[in-house]
Structure 1
Amino acid sequence: MIPALYYKAFSALGTDNLETPKGDFVAPFEKLIKVINERGTQEKNKAYLIDAYTYIGFFQYSKNEMAKAKANFQEVLKLDPENENAKSYLEGIK
């Protein structure tokens, strides 16, 4: 089920215009995060969580919702402390 949720979210991301995103991918990624956390399978699904938090953070950053974006990028760094994308976005939020 988790891979199916991921591919549904990623498919929605692929159909969005990333220069001016509508964010149709946000809700599917949020559902993915919720299901993974409810099942307690964070370590097994770490890559999915990193992608989900990154893309949601990217969308919020593009909409100038900096507090929300910052929270999502911080979640990425909890999972992957060396993640350069998250570090770059957080640096841009300061």
Structure 2
Amino acid sequence: MIDYSDTFLKEAKQLSEKYKGFKSDLQVAVGEIQNRNLGTSLGKGLYKKRVKNSSNNSGKSGGFRMIVYQIRNDRIVLMSVYSKSQKENISSLELQNILGSL
């Protein structure tokens, strides 16, 4: 089961207004997550998932980043999403805040 945090929904709405292809890119990423392709482990059940940005043809390297939290094998929460062009990396403090928001 995949859930969405309030923060994720807010960020996704902003990105969908800015990037026309965001919703379809997100659907592809959610499909990959359902198939257990969670991305790179950040520890404590958090993962950073690279997502293609079809709006600017930059592929995954210049695309979006999703922070995914795997609570159990059957429960995953999408915690945050951002454009790599707007934020290079996520800090340890931001990761702690994400975990604390549950």
TM-score (norm 2): 0.29
More strand by share: 2
More helix by share: 1
